[in-house]
Chain A
Amino acid sequence: EVQLMESGGGLVQPGGSLRLSCAASGFTFNWYWMSWVRQAPGKGLEWVANINQGGSEERYVNSVKGRFTISRDNARTSLFLQMNSLRPEDTAVYHCARIDISGSTFDYWGQGALVTVSS
């Protein structure tokens, strides 16, 4: 059974940093692109970042470029999101998601980690 479990969320002040982790199990982790998708309270879904199987290619939504860094550790079957210079508008539940083998959508999602940016 595919499982994705996020951790590391919490309350942080504007301008602060936070690192999210996602522990993956139940599939061959290094076969898949992985992604982070967020959802602000009461709002819709927003794709944040992708990383390829080997970690050599990263893609970001414009609003987080230069502030967020996605990475992975295939030996530990884990995905990470380093978030710096956080803004109140980054407040959201952050979901780890597996990108399907076609590369065009998300087939499995974690329950998410809440990040709150507030003073």
Chain B
Amino acid sequence: DIQMTQSPSSLSASVGDRVTITCRASQDISNHVAWFQQKPGKAPKSLIYAASSLQSGVPSKFSGSGSGTDFTLTISSLQPEDFATYYCQQFNGYSFTFGQGTKLEVK
């Protein structure tokens, strides 16, 4: 099975900051990576698919990059509503796995 190692597990930042979250796959997965935002008690929300494509309706402050094994999610100009937990996810043609999550907290 392909593992997704996500870092950091938690991150403290201030409103207006720019933050980056990374995911490393245990083998080459091309661009089959997505990113999700989840708030407490809510369903995950899709932000990015195919490593760098923005889901419809998602603000452009969210961006993704990477291919092969190393991927990043960048959030620019943090606003109060951006403080949440973020997950990466890979697809290897058969099954899906998620990273462990990054909890983004207010500093």
- Enumerate chain A interface residues (CB-CB to B < 8 A): 35, 37, 44-47, 50, 59, 61-62, 95, 100, 102-112
Contacts and interface: CB of A to CB of B under 8 A. Distances in A.
Interface in B12-51: 32, 34, 36, 38, 42-46, 49-50
B100 interface: yes
Contacts of B91: 103-105
B5 interface: no
Contact of B44 (A35, A45, A102): A45
Interface residues of B, number: 24
Given A59-B94, A105-B34, A105-B89, A95 B43 contact: yes
Interface of B: 1, 32, 34, 36, 38, 42-46, 49-50, 55, 87, 89, 91, 94-101
Given A45-B98, A102-B49, A109 B34 contact: no
A49 to B, nearest CB: 10
A62 B95 CA distance: 10
A17 B32 CA distance: 34
Nearest to B55: A107
Contacts of B98: 44-47
Contact of A104 (B36, B43, B44, B49): B49
Contacts of A106: 34, 36, 44, 46, 89, 96
Given A59-B94, A62-B1, A109-B43, 5 more contacts: A46-B98, A100-B49, A105-B89, A107-B46, A108-B46
Nearest to A61: B95
Which 6 pairs of residues, A with B, have the shortest CB-CB distance? A105-B34, A109-B43, A47-B96, A104-B91, A45-B98, A44-B101
